[in-house]
Amino acid sequence: MKLEITDCKGIKMIALSGEVDMYTSPELREEMMNLIRRRTSPLFVDFSGVSYIDSSGIATFVEGLKGIMSYNGKLKLVGIPDRIMEIFNFSKLDRVFEMYGSIDDALNSLNSF
Amino acid sequence: MVRSDMNEKVTITIPSHPKYLSVVRAVTARVGAVCGMNDSLTDGIKLAVDEACSNVIKHAYRGDTGKKIVVKYKITKKSLEVTIEDNGIKSDVEYMKGRDLDDLKPGGLGIHFIKKIFDVFELDSRKKVGNRLRLIKYLKGKYEA
């Protein structure tokens, strides 16, 4: 897994790639929870380079969502590949997370209210 | 690939360290391909076997990375059987139900992923020390999910 924290037009974004599993998800959790402790919002996560995710990866995002919701922040998942989306769908988490096809779509969602 | 009447076995032994889960996934994916599974089904069994091994590390070995996990694949014309063995703490069958999918909380999804893919999910109570989880996927028609 590779993880990069970038600024996307002033918005914090975690760009993920590779495999998110029990071995790699602790690093993701640490970086994401650091941002959440600083009450970052909105927080984008770019999934477009993710080739695999397991339940520990999914659990990390559930924990992150709960943390960010505690201060009414927004977590937006972007560019989720189909094979990864199947896992979110099966877990019924597609109903819980805000998901967007592209970064532009996620940015536009910020302007729609 | 031409499939003959198969009754073949592949066995791998990995240390109970999460960094070796990628090895299990790679082998599982290749076994799926040998069975003629499509990409979607191969992804599913790869995830399921990964989850089963992760559970061994987390629950049977309580994070001890110095133990062993044995993964056995038995390939026949009609099915793929995967057995995951450890010598850790006996699993609680109640725990193995997984959490309610409508309950938003981290964890508890792995068991659902395993049961979604495999037709048989069986904890072998005859194993005296540790656990032996037996998973079977029946190969239908053209080996599609």
Which residues are B133's β-sheet partners? B84, B123
Partners of A90 on chain B (C-beta within 8 Å) are 112-113, 116
Residue A33: per-residue pLDDT = 97
Put simply, whether B61 touches A (Cβ < 8 Å) is: no
Closest residue in chain B to residue A59, using alpha carbons only: B106
Question: Which pLDDT value is given to residue A11?
Answer: 95
What is the DSSP track for chain B?
A: ----S-EEEEEEEEES-GGGHHHHHHHHHHHHHHTT--HHHHHHHHHHHHHHHHHIIIIISTT-TTSEEEEEEEEESSEEEEEEEE-SSPPPTTGGG---TTS--SS--HHHHHHHH-SEEEE-TT-SSSEEEEEEEE-BTTTB-
The pLDDT value recorded for residue B72 is: 98
Task: State whether B22 and A59 contact (CB < 8 Å).
Answer: no
Residue B140: per-residue pLDDT: 78
Structure tokens at B15: 């240390």
Q: What is the CATH number of the domain that holds A45?
A: 3.30.750.24
pLDDT (0 to 100) of residue B106: 59
Q: What is the ipTM of this complex?
A: 0.91
Nearest CA in chain A to B40: A83
A22, A55, A90 member nearest B57 (Cβ): A22
Architecture of the domain spanning B7-138:
2-Layer Sandwich (3.30)
The model's pLDDT over A8-55, given as tens digits with 9 standing for 90+, comes to 888 999 999 999 999 999 999 999 999 999 999 999 999 999 999 999
pLDDT of residue B98: 64
| Contact criterion met (CB below 8 Å) for B57 and B16 | yes
Give me the pLDDT at residue B102, please: 65
C-alpha–C-alpha distance, residues B56 and A79, integer Å? 32
Instruction: Give Cα B86 to chain centroid, integer Å.
Output: 12
- Give the pLDDT score at B5: 60
Q: Judging by beta carbons within 10 Å of its beta carbon (0-12, 13-18, 19+), is residue A80 exposed, middle or buried?
A: buried
Evaluate whether residue A108 is within a structural domain.
no
What pLDDT is stored for residue B64 in this prediction?
98
Judge whether A61 lies within some domain: yes
Report the domain count for chain A: 1
- Closest of B29, B26, B14 to residue B80, by C-alpha: B29
pLDDT 10s digits, A57-100: 999 999 999 999 999 999 999 999 999 999 999 988 989 999 99
Determine if residue B50 is left, alpha or beta; phi over 0 gives left, psi from -120 to 50 gives alpha, anything else beta.
Answer: alpha
pLDDT at B125: 86
Cis-peptide into B18, omega within 30 deg: no
CA distance B87 to chain A (A): 20
Range of the domain at A47: 2-103
Whole-number mean pLDDT of chain A?
95
Distances, alpha carbon A9 to alpha carbons A13, A65, A72, A96, A108, in Å: 10, 22, 21, 25, 12
Question: Which of chain A's residues have a Cβ under 8 Å away from the Cβ of B25?
Answer: 19, 52
Query: Which residues does A14 contact at the CB level (< 8 Å), separation at least 6?
Result: A3, A4, A5, A28, A31, A32, A35, A43, A44, A45, A46
Structural domain contains residue A110: no
Question: Per the domain annotation, does A95 fall within a domain?
Answer: yes
A47 within some domain: yes
CB contact under 8 A, B113 and A55: yes
Work out the average pLDDT over A98-106: 96
Find the largest Cα–Cα distance for chain B: 46
Tell me if A23 is assigned to some domain. Answer: yes
pLDDT of residue B2: 47
CB contact under 8 A, B102 and A92: yes
Mean pLDDT per block of 10 residues along chain B (145 residues) reads 71 98 98 94 96 96 97 95 97 69 69 94 92 94 49
Contact A91 B22 (CB under 8 A): no
Write the residue in A23, A92, A93 that is nearest to B18 by C-beta.
A23
